[in-house]
Amino acid sequence: MIALSLLVASLAGLSSAAASTHRLKERVAEPRNWIRLSAAPADQIIPLRIALPQLRFDELERQLYEVSDPDHPRYGQHLSKAEVETLVAPHPDSLGVVNAWLASHGLEEDDLERTPAQDWVTVRVPVALAEEMLATKYHAWQHADGGDVILRTTSYSLPAHVHDHVELVHPTTFFGHTRALRTTFRFSEVQDPPVPVSSEKILIPGSGITVDPSCNTTITVTCLKELYNAIGFQASAHNGNQIAVTGYLEQFANIQDLQTFYSQQRPDALNSSFKTVLINGGLNNQSAAEAGAEANLDTQFAFGLTFPTPATFFSTGGRPPFIPDIGTPTKSDTNEPYTKFLDFILAQNNIPQVISTSYGDDEQTVPIAFARRVCAGFAQLGARGTSLTFSSGDGGVGDGDPNPATQTCLTNDGRNATRFITGFPATCPFVTAVGATINVPEIAVDFSGGGFSDFFARPAYQHAAVTRFLDGLAPGTFAGLFNASGRAIPDVSAEGDKFGIIIGGQSFHIGGTSASSPTFAGFVSLLNSARLSAGKRPLGFLNPLLYSANVAATFNDITVGNNPGCGTEGFNATVGWDAITGLGTPDFGKLLSIVG
């Protein structure tokens, strides 16, 4: 690549000339809650990820639905890694144009990193070169909460002849604030003195299922197995089944805490563990002081439910570490972490059949082109036979703030209009969004995220269920606050509060849809274990199956509760699908009788 000192000097007078040959690719309003700091240092190294159009993605999507539809002859016949890569590979013309454009800036093949399908190319360049390539100006921006500092721009352009051959460039206009989706955690020994409870089992109406009354105080692995009708089922350790959870933002899953958890809740799993895979500079800090609440919750319950199924924790780096007053060129990897995870997992030949994620952004903070491209990555995993569960969010119909009274719920497009705010990636139609319930018998918990996407249209698989819900709303309900034709979330739900976990050797209670996603994922993995042991294929992309009439009827319908936010009472739980608990919570025994 061009020598850095010569490059910066040669680019000093080129920005205006470059702009004249470029055409605007994307522009966003200055984001709320972000503060523009100084101009980015010219010699700061920035990794540019360039997405080339995926030539046959429509064909991939068609085949994804065929192999995921229980009524289709191809159901369960998932695609191979090579087949998926063929369908998402860019056109040779796009490769040629982009290669020539990069070469015109001194970037040769040795400077490029490509995904196996060649649909993404990454180059690490000084800010000065990125600005010249994109006819833009980068600044450091800091979130108003005093947290992340990132390098971003509010618009960028591409040469006219390159425009149709590049879908997006990142990092540019993405001002997301990825967070773990949890509401509260508290030190149980201090805040939860022993409360006498009845010794009589709680009978779940209409089911014959009984649950220990202690489950209204602390949710355990046994509580979930009782409530969701899985007592007595034993997963296999040897049939090829795997489960995984993802970790971001320096969330470390502590193995000693897992052992303590197992000693209390799953004694037969004691001395077993999980595999940790490090991605993009991810770490595996096992200090008790660094044990992550989110990471421990995910691993303890997902893996506690599914033992002895082989389990993996993916620790992905990517929290932006740029510090303007240091300006070290080697510390500016500002990429949002999902893309790094997708790069890694899609390149693997053997991937887990279930992966749970408890992180997300407000959908409106994610550029729509970027959201669609990440969603397309999840579609590739589904086509290969992996079920993806995501937490639906912890702000009710609001903007992620767990306190409805302080939610602003304003659009960030410059209009500052009041709007219900959904979360991404939960709104991607190729993942299963999981909301939250509480108590035994279950009701909807008020923080459970639910609503309708402004980016993705409602998929056919949920049309009937969601239409019935919308038809049941009084005319004019929340008019203008949501997109009634958008992809609706959540799809399903599971318990999401009072989970007893271990963090740093101490007992805590934790709650949030971040508990619900690994819980639901755990029961999906148990279903996969039964299927694989019977010589069947894994379930893969779940939603067409879940919304099918005979499967939807097996769910425990939640009809009490609402998810307030944005100055409203939010949506109500109702008979059938609703925008707080989805189809309801799983009955493993009934599901097993259909898909096992």
Among residues 148, 167, 294, 363, the one annotated as catalytic is 294
Rounded to whole angstroms, how far apart are CA atoms 184 and 278? 28
Rounded to whole angstroms, how far apart are CA atoms 392 and 493? 9
Rounded to whole angstroms, how far apart are CA atoms 324 and 41? 8
- Cα 575 from chain centroid (whole Å): 27
Helix 81-88 and helix 57-68, axial crossing angle in degrees, nearest 10? 140
Q: Beta-carbon neighbour count of residue 463 at 10 Å? A: 12
Among residues 315, 514, 516, 517, the one annotated as catalytic is 514
- Cα 244 from chain centroid (whole Å): 13
Among residues 132, 167, 212, 298, the one annotated as catalytic is 298
Rounded to whole angstroms, how far apart are CA atoms 394 and 511? 9
Q: DSSP label at 205?
A: T
Rounded to whole angstroms, how far apart are CA atoms 261 and 438? 21
- How far, CA to CA in Å, does 6 sit from each of 2, 3, 46, 129, 419? 7, 6, 17, 11, 49
* 298 in active site: yes
Longest dimension (CA), the chain: 80
Helices (H), ranges, 327-473: 337-346, 368-383, 463-471
Q: What is the dihedral of CA 453, 454, 459, 462, to 10 degrees?
A: 40
* 294 in active site: yes
- Cα 44 from chain centroid (whole Å): 30
Helix 513-533 and helix 293-306, axial crossing angle in degrees, nearest 10? 30
Our CA angle for 558, 563, 564, nearest 5°, is 155
- How far, CA to CA in Å, does 454 sit from each of 139, 277, 482? 28, 34, 8
**Token digits of residue 524:** 């999906």
Strand partners, 494: 436
- How far, CA to CA in Å, does 168 sit from each of 27, 116, 163, 552, 576? 12, 18, 9, 38, 39
Q: Are 296 and 501 in contact (CB under 8 A)?
A: yes
Q: Beta-carbon neighbour count of residue 232 at 10 Å? A: 7
Q: What is the set of active-site residues?
A: 294, 298, 514
